[in-house]
Amino acid sequence: MANAAKDPTIERFVIESERLAGIKMPTKEQHLKRPGTMRHLDCARIIAGGHNLVNAELINCTLTGRTGDWYRTGVEGALQGLIPEGELVPKIMNEFNAEVQRGIEQLRTAASEKDSAEFAWNMHHRLICNHAFKEANGRTARMELNQIRLRLGLPWLVIAYDESKEYFGMLSFYREHTFIPLLHEMEQAA
């Protein structure tokens, strides 16, 4: 994006992403003045400007202003009773970050637009299901989705609040048919 600082798509992305997270303000101006929204906007502008924030932890830190702010076992795994006690979130996140890097390297040269978009969505869904952070998991995942898309040559994507039923339906389907079976595999391997 040529001028990310003034791009209305970035502002719209941030407002819609925060609306999906349950943050709603009466006007766009009020929304954009909220401190958390300003951090979110700064993070989006960094990524849209062509800078790589390296991994989901750095994105979450930029969004929340806190470092190392993750759960020990991840909410999703704990809810399922499938992840044993211990420091699994760092391991899961290291594996996630490595998979993102490998996928981008593999897809950057020979992948179709459809394959690239599908990979970005799968990483988004997995990051949300990992639910590693105490705050801003969905916003972090939507930011990571766009960072992956841009690195693969795809345009920035805005998920509108009006599309929330479809969006959350996709997440639910992924959780039930992909993520929970993966947790079961992890449990059996442990």
Question: What backbone torsions phi and psi does residue 133 show, to the nearest 5 degrees?
Answer: -100, 155
pLDDT of residue 187: 67
| Number of structural domains in the chain | 1
What was the pLDDT predicted at 1?
A: 43
Q: What is the DSSP string of 102-170?
A: HHHHHHHHH--HHHHHHHHHHHHHHHHHH--BSS-HHHHHHHHHHHHHHHTTPPP----GGGHHHHHHH
Show Cβ contacts of residue 138 under 8 Å, excluding neighbours closer than 6 positions: 17, 20, 21, 128
Please name the helix (run of DSSP H) or strand (run of DSSP E) that holds residue 184, with its range, or none: helix 180-189
Q: What are phi and psi of 111, to 5 degrees?
A: -85, 155
What is the per-residue pLDDT for 173?
A: 95
Residues of the chain with pLDDT under 70: 1-6, 68-88, 186-187, 190
pLDDT value of residue 88: 66
Which CATH number does the domain housing residue 68 bear?
1.10.3290.10
Domain with 8 in it: 4-189
Burial of 162 (0-12, 13-18, 19+ CB in 10 A): exposed
pTM over 0.75: yes
Q: What pLDDT does 87 receive?
A: 56
